[in-house]
Amino acid sequence: MLISTENFRSYTADTQLACTLAAVAGALNTAAFEAVGFFSANMTGNVSSLSDHLARASLAPATFFASIVSIFIAGSAFSTLLINAGRRNNMRKVYAFNILVEGIGLVALGGIETWLRPQSPGVVLILCLSFLMGLQNAVVTRISNARVRTTHVSGTSTDIGIELAMLFDVLRRKESPKEAPLYIERLKLHALTLFSFLAGGVAGIWLYRALGYPFIMLIGLMLIALALHTLLGRHASPVNQ
């Protein structure tokens, strides 16, 4: 699921990608909110908070929210530069390498929060997670040709509504029944993404309460294992992925 790209990808590959990384994003997002009261990947909410604080001339909080948005963008840009370099050199596994970077980053972040105890733990946690979520979102967007999103569900929820409406028009004979299987496939993909984000969020709360910050390290190790499985393994051609 971390090799083939764009039009070569199958529904199964996109579904595996969506379910795995949406669950990761949901877990990290809710755990961060449980820990410090901020979301690391909700750029809509963060930009709204930024505008609110700017309107109130509250410069310190505005700077914090501007930093969250900026570092999310920086993570996405960093990921894209790695992907572009890999594609120029015909590295089919560059997407897995990016996920490896994310996993290592999470392990390091979990270790910092657990053992080093920074003076501003909430700031370090949110800014680091924002960078890593930006990185992950760029990976998923590029590898799936924007068919899958995992770090937020606003667009996914919109897509669910669109596919439901298209199926409704098929039932009313306003759209061709020949397109119904495609709409159903897309609906399943988006619904599974939403459910995975939700389930990951619930699990993230439970695991954070049980383990504390080492939970972040656990997620990182899981991503490292996933990436190494792709980087070190033999895989079929893109058409079959």
Q: Can you read off the two tokens belonging to residue 181?
A: 């299987």
pTM for this model (two decimals):
0.88
Give 223's contacts (C-beta < 8 A, 6+ positions apart). Answer: 24, 99, 100, 102, 103, 106
How far apart (Å, rounded) are the C-alpha atoms in residues 241 and 236? 7
| Average pLDDT estimate for 39-57 | 89
Q: Specify the pLDDT at position 226.
A: 94
Residues in the chain: 241
Q: Specify the pLDDT at position 209.
A: 93
Distance between alpha carbon 32 and the CA centroid of its chain, in Å?
14
Q: Specify the pLDDT at position 239.
A: 41
Higher pLDDT, 89 or 11: 89
Give 178's contacts (C-beta < 8 A, 6+ positions apart). Answer: none
Three-class DSSP category at 120: coil
How far apart (Å, rounded) are the C-alpha atoms in residues 122 and 178? 52
| Average pLDDT estimate for 31-49 | 86
pLDDT at 155 over 90: no
pLDDT in tens, 79-136: 999 999 998 988 888 999 999 999 999 999 999 888 887 667 688 899 999 999 999 9
Q: pLDDT class for 241, splitting at 50, 70, 90?
A: very low
Higher pLDDT, 84 or 10: 84
Q: Specify the pLDDT at position 5.
A: 58
**Hey, what long-range contacts does 12-15 have (CB within 8 A, 24 or more apart)?**
13/241, 14/144, 14/147, 14/148, 14/189, 15/188, 15/189, 15/192
Tokens 């967007």 belong to residue: 141
pLDDT at 9 over 80: no
How far apart (Å, rounded) are the C-alpha atoms in residues 114 and 30? 18
| Average pLDDT estimate for 165-178 | 88
